[in-house]
Structure 1
Amino acid sequence: MNATTTTFASARRINRSLTADMEKKALTWMAERAPAWVTSDRLTALGLLAQVGAGVFYGLSRYNELGLLGVIACLILNWFGDSMDGTLARVRNQQRPRYGFYVDHMVDIFGATALMGGLGFSGLVHWRVAVAMLIGFLLLSAESYLATYTLSCFQMSQGIFGPTEIRILLIIGNLALLRDRYATVMGHRYLLFDLGGTIAAAVMFGMAIMIAARHTSELYRQEPLG
């Protein structure tokens, strides 16, 4: 074991999302009962494959709207794999903090790219909206990773919204699409996901700016010029 490994300290994890407490209890219960062949690496792989699968099913929904049901199934599998891998490692005392942090978040980046790519191809949202959502996600992700390194604090949620809440909103949106892919606002018809995606992208951009400003101010106070 080298010096880098022995001196590494994990960042403090903060999750204030709506489902955080209930989700933690459910994941711990499942992790304690998981068979030996279920490993954190396999769960991480499941989460990635499921998110890529969600993107594929979004693409297929361009030709058959039942593909949206495949998206929902993949989002549930993605939640299970992505949320359970770290919990299982902690329950079994098999933590690999550097490996886990790096792999888990690279998987998030690749998975989000696949998801937004499939959504853009689906015709359910215009490409520019899908790209804006992806950029917003990547900006928030980059800020979170930089804050983890500089402030030793890993923010798993932004306000009451975390990854699980986003999945729930996507599932609700998919069910709404099965009924009608359009929304009417002030007499104008818009693609439902164009409307929701534009709002989501604007919120993510705004949050990235505000959080970056707050953390910059905090770091400046900790490291003033004079």
Structure 2
Amino acid sequence: MATLHGDNARQINRIQENLLAAQERRLLNWLCARMPRWVTPDMLTAIGMVGALAVFAGYVTSNLGAEWLWLSVAGYFVQWFGDSMDGSLARFRKIERPRYGYFLDHSCDGLATTLVVAGIGFSPYVQLSVALVALTGYLLLSIHAFLSVRVLGEMKLSYAYAGPTELRFVLLALTFSMMAVGPEQGVIAGLSWFDLFVGGVGLLLIVFFIVQTARIASRLAVEEPPRNNRKD
């Protein structure tokens, strides 16, 4: 568990139920135990951002040729390594800085996600307007996660048994499909199959946000009834 400090300090319960969580945790612990002492969590955070920039650059330069998508593929692995290892290494070495780490990590996550999805939108495979639907869904779920920390003390890291790692595998599969198929013509209302897939994922994330918001609001309404209904 992590801890936030302040007037309403509380422990944060990390809820991670994605399919690959156990295997990924074993791999991360193995890597943490072998990481050189000169490698710091902040260094890994920076590496993750470099990976996100590489993903963005690969998608944008794929306008020049599909071979540039290999840069995005490499970027996903670099981004996973930095993003997954920074907090893991801090917890492994027991050198957490809860407020600093929470702020920096999630700020970088937001920027990295924006770079990745914007890159997809600037590629010749997916329309930018469609990619922005996916970005909206991801950022709404991020807002939900941050609000849950404040009101419940819970940080939900996965939805429908999928988290950031599973999402990266989906994006890798999408990228390899782009290489194999190439830019497509519109099949429905001017949208290609790539557009429909990315837009569909975005709409699914928005639905998750609405459902989770309604569920937690109902729970909080029971836990905090109107004052005139409370029994003192």
In the superposition, the TM-score normalised over structure 1's length comes to 0.92
Q: Show the counterpart of 1:29.
A: 30
Partners of 2:51 and 2:75 within 8 A in 1: yes
Partners of 1:133 and 1:201 within 8 A in 2: yes
Q: Show the counterpart of 2:10.
A: 9
Q: Show the counterpart of 1:146.
A: 147
Q: Show the counterpart of 1:197.
A: 198
Q: Show the counterpart of 1:162.
A: 163
Partners of 1:177 and 1:192 within 8 A in 2: no
User: Following the alignment from structure 2 to structure 1, what is the Cα–Cα distance between the partners of residues 177 and 24?
Assistant: 25
Q: Show the counterpart of 1:216.
A: 217
Q: Show the counterpart of 2:115.
A: 114
**Cα deviation digits, residues 174-194 of structure 1 (max 9, x gap):** 111111036799999953320
Report deviation, 1:45. Answer: 0.9
Q: Show the counterpart of 1:95.
A: 96
Report deviation, 1:52. Answer: 1.9
Superposed counterparts of 1:121-140, under 5 Å: 121-140=122-141
Q: Show the counterpart of 1:69.
A: 70
User: Following the alignment from structure 1 to structure 2, what is the Cα–Cα distance between the partners of residues 137 and 181?
Assistant: 26
Report deviation, 1:111. Answer: 1.0
Partners of 1:31 and 1:87 within 8 A in 2: yes
Report deviation, 1:41. Answer: 0.5
User: Following the alignment from structure 2 to structure 1, what is the Cα–Cα distance between the partners of residues 19 and 139?
Assistant: 22
Number of residue pairs aligned between Structure 1 and Structure 2: 223
User: Following the alignment from structure 1 to structure 2, what is the Cα–Cα distance between the partners of residues 183 and 190?
Assistant: 9
**Cα deviation digits, residues 139-189 of structure 1 (max 9, x gap):** 110011001111001001112110000000111111111110367999999
Classify the secondary structure of the residue corresponding to 1:13.
strand
Report deviation, 1:211. Answer: 0.4
Partners of 1:58 and 1:122 within 8 A in 2: yes
Name the CA shift for 1:37/1:10 in 2 (closer, same or farther; >3 Å): same
Structure 2 gap ranges (5+): none
User: Following the alignment from structure 1 to structure 2, what is the Cα–Cα distance between the partners of residues 49 and 136?
Assistant: 24
User: Following the alignment from structure 1 to structure 2, what is the Cα–Cα distance between the partners of residues 184 and 131?
Assistant: 20
**Cα deviation digits, residues 75-120 of structure 1 (max 9, x gap):** 0111110001111001100011111111111101111111222221
Give the root-mean-square deviation of aligned CA atoms: 2.1
Classify the secondary structure of the residue corresponding to 1:70.
helix
Partners of 2:124 and 2:183 within 8 A in 1: no
Q: Show the counterpart of 1:78.
A: 79
Partners of 1:52 and 1:111 within 8 A in 2: yes
Partners of 2:66 and 2:182 within 8 A in 1: no
1:46 maps to a residue whose letter is I
User: Following the alignment from structure 1 to structure 2, what is the Cα–Cα distance between the partners of residues 84 and 34?
Assistant: 10
In the superposition, the TM-score normalised over structure 2's length comes to 0.90
Structure 1 gap ranges (5+): none
Q: Show the counterpart of 1:57.
A: 58
User: Following the alignment from structure 1 to structure 2, what is the Cα–Cα distance between the partners of residues 116 and 76?
Assistant: 16
Percent of aligned positions that are identical? 33
